[in-house]
Amino acid sequence: MGNKNDSCTPVQNSPQAHGGSKADQSTTADDESRKSKMTYEQLAERRSTPRAQTPFFKIMLGLNIVGWVSLVVVLILFHYARPDFISGVQQYWGIKGDTSWSENHLSAMTIMLQICLVVTLISIIMRARRNRRRSDNFGINLFILFAIVAISLITIATTIGL
């Protein structure tokens, strides 16, 4: 026969080239059976993908971001809705300022606060259903956002009367 490094000459097939001996095949079968058996730790840990990669977590994160961004929008609307501050110098010189709330901005601010409250409640409920382990985060930022929005709505309802 020819040189085994020469590609033009035929080489006889050895048993190892076709899968090896029976001992090698049984070792491979044992490895596969060990891989198919799961340990208790692997069964206990059901999260096969990282938490941040799941669509549910991405939706929760998106709702959280939407809630906080809507609060920033409410603060901007509050700036334009509030009456002007009239200082002592303005009063002395008789300069008039706007002393009433802007109804358009105030109604938009109230609607945005209500949207923010609903989004925050949905996000809190989703987090409560998702977090079942002691090591899961509590999500205190959502409760802070909920408190800010609820106090703002109550304050607007009692002082301005919307």
List, in order, residues 6 or more apart from 82 with CB less than 8 Å away: 101, 102
pLDDT in tens, 27-73: 665 666 555 565 666 555 555 677 677 888 889 889 999 999 999 99
Q: Domain coordinates of the chain in residue numbers? A: 52-159
pLDDT in tens, 71-107: 999 999 998 888 877 777 777 777 777 777 888 989 9
Predicted TM-score (pTM) of the model is 0.61
Shortest CA distance to 136 belongs to which of 64, 47, 70, 71? 47
